[in-house]
């Protein structure tokens, strides 16, 4: 067998005679015929030898024992540290981003300490984050708004739960919306129709105090926002409390940032809609987007947002609030409201009254401002009519 194999190797080696350095041998006649015959045999043998070599190498790779799995396992062991390294890098990046995101918080505390300002317990880090979002990440605006809120809380008198019971017929919490945000009901029309001018600042104070109570005790930590539903039924355009509404809007916007999830105004007189447009000018664009003035179809719209509607809005609620709330204030509740209001004057500073704008002069200015808006609207409407008539005359009589 070895002899045959050696003969085959010699036969294939004759292919070397085709190489240019050995071609001169073919010029000799004795060797010319012999070389051609041997080359005809050596060329197929060379092809077979190449194919055999390749097939043997392929079989050798396939016949390698299970040790071939060991390189894969080794590769896996080498990749595992790489994966863990990438995971560590990702975690490190997240930590760095978190530290960068909270850098403003540390800077804020340092700046407040330098100025000797102590934050009340009510303003925690979550509250500061809402201020930061409202400031759009601008540190100077954030610092100014926080300092303003700290000063405001030092002078403003938040009513207790016992004091808020006096106003429970006008301002109260009623259920949740579909996102489980508590809903604050404000019966503005009923309040303006029954309260005396000197009671309206206390009414505004009750609204702010209810918002404070809701933010502290009613909102969910995952979604710390409230819904406000303002009923304007019975509101007269000539007695629209513009100053009071503006002060409430500014107070809630400045000192309770990002706490409003939505503001719905229902049963607003058509003429008063023109007046309320001036109120929206003091609102920030983000807050303005949350305002919705609903028309006659308010029941259908509110039913898509609120779980239950109060009885006085056409709902079928049987809760204790709806059973207690009537359409008119009783004489005893009016007297009680005024008594508590005047009693609370001792604990409310002049700054609070000024922020509410609730003296008789402000009430007269509200009435005068409402009349001016109505007169301006009437004049604009008359001018538009005259322009339209003039356009028609010119069109048909060239």
Residues found in the chain: 398
Domain endpoint, select from 258, 291, 324: 324
Burial class (CB in 10 A: 0-12, 13-18, 19+), 265: buried
* Residues 142, 124 within the same domain: yes
* Residues 111, 255 within the same domain: no
pLDDT at 329: 42
How many angstroms separate the CA atoms of 233 and 194, rounded? 12
Between helix 331-343 and helix 200-217 the angle, nearest 10°, is 80
Between helix 139-155 and helix 125-134 the angle, nearest 10°, is 120
How many angstroms separate the CA atoms of 336 and 333, rounded? 5
* Residues 290, 147 within the same domain: no
How many angstroms separate the CA atoms of 55 and 95, rounded? 56
pLDDT at 18: 59
How many angstroms separate the CA atoms of 337 and 197, rounded? 12
pLDDT at 102: 75
How many independent structural domains does the chain possess? 2
Residue 298 located in a structural domain:
yes
> What's the average model confidence in pLDDT over 185-189?
93
pLDDT tens track for 56-110: 544 444 444 444 444 444 434 343 444 444 554 454 444 444 545 578 999 999 9
pLDDT at 132: 93
* Residues 122, 255 within the same domain: no
Domain endpoint, select from 155, 185, 202: 155
Residue 303 located in a structural domain:
yes
Using the predicted structure, report yes or no on whether residue 180 has a pLDDT greater than 60: yes
Using the predicted structure, report yes or no on whether residue 42 has a pLDDT greater than 70: no
Domain endpoint, select from 300, 324, 348: 324
pLDDT at 355: 45
* Residues 128, 176 within the same domain: no
pTM given for the model: 0.60
Order of strands, edge to edge, in the sheet holding 226-231? 171-176, 182-187, 226-231, 260-266, 291-293
pLDDT tens track for 292-314: 988 878 888 898 889 888 888 88
* Residues 139, 231 within the same domain: no
User: What Rg, from alpha-carbon coordinates, does the chain have?
Assistant: 44
Could you list the residue range(s) of the whole structural domain that residue 131 is in?
100-155
Using the predicted structure, report yes or no on whether residue 172 has a pLDDT greater than 90: yes
Using the predicted structure, report yes or no on whether residue 323 has a pLDDT greater than 60: yes
Query: Given pLDDT bands bounded at 50, 70 and 90, which one contains residue 214?
Result: very high
């Amino acid at each position: 067998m070895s002899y045959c194999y050696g003969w085959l190797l010699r036969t294939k080696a004759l292919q070397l005679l085709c190489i240019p350095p050995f071609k001169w041998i073919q010029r000799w006649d004795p060797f010319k015929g012999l070389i051609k015959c041997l080359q005809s045999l050596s060329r197929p043998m060379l092809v077979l030898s190449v194919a055999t070599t390749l097939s043997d190498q392929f079989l050798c790779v396939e016949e390698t024992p299970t040790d071939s799995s060991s390189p894969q396992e080794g590769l896996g062991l080498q990749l595992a540290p790489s994966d863990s390294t990438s995971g560590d890098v990702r975690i490190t990046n997240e930590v760095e981003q978190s530290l960068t995101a909270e850098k403003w918080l540390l800077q804020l505390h340092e700046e407040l300490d330098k100025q000797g300002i102590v934050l009340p317990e009510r303003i925690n880090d979550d509250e500061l984050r809402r201020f930061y979002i409202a400031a759009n990440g601008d540190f100077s605006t954030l610092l100014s708004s926080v300092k303003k809120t700290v000063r405001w809380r030092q002078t403003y008198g938040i009513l207790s739960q016992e004091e808020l019971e006096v106003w429970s017929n006008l301002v109260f919490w009623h259920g949740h919306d579909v996102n489980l945000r508590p809903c604050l009901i404000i019966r503005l029309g009923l309040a303006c129709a029954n309260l005396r001018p000197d009671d309206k600042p206390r009414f505004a104070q009750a609204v702010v105090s209810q918002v404070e109570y809701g933010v502290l005790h009613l909102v969910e930590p995952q979604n710390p926002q409230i819904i406000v539903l303002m009923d304007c039924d019975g509101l007269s355009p000539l007695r629209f409390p513009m100053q009071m509404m503006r002060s409430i809007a500014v107070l809630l916007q400045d000192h309770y940032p990002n706490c409003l999830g939505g503001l719905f105004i229902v049963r607003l007189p058509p003429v008063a809609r023109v007046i309320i447009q001036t109120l929206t000018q003091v609102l920030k664009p983000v807050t303005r987007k949350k305002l919705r003035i609903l028309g006659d179809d308010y029941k259908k719209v509110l039913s898509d947002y609120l779980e239950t509607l109060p009885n006085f809005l056409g709902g079928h609620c049987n809760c204790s609030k709806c059973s207690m709330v009537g359409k008119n204030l009783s004489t005893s509740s009016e007297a009680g409201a005024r008594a508590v209001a005047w009693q609370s004057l001792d604990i409310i500073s002049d700054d609070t009254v000024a922020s509410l704008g609730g003296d008789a002069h402000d009430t007269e200015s509200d009435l005068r401002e409402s009349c001016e808006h109505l007169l301006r609207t009437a004049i604009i409407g008359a001018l538009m009519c005259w322009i339209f008539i003039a356009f028609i005359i010119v069109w048909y009589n060239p």
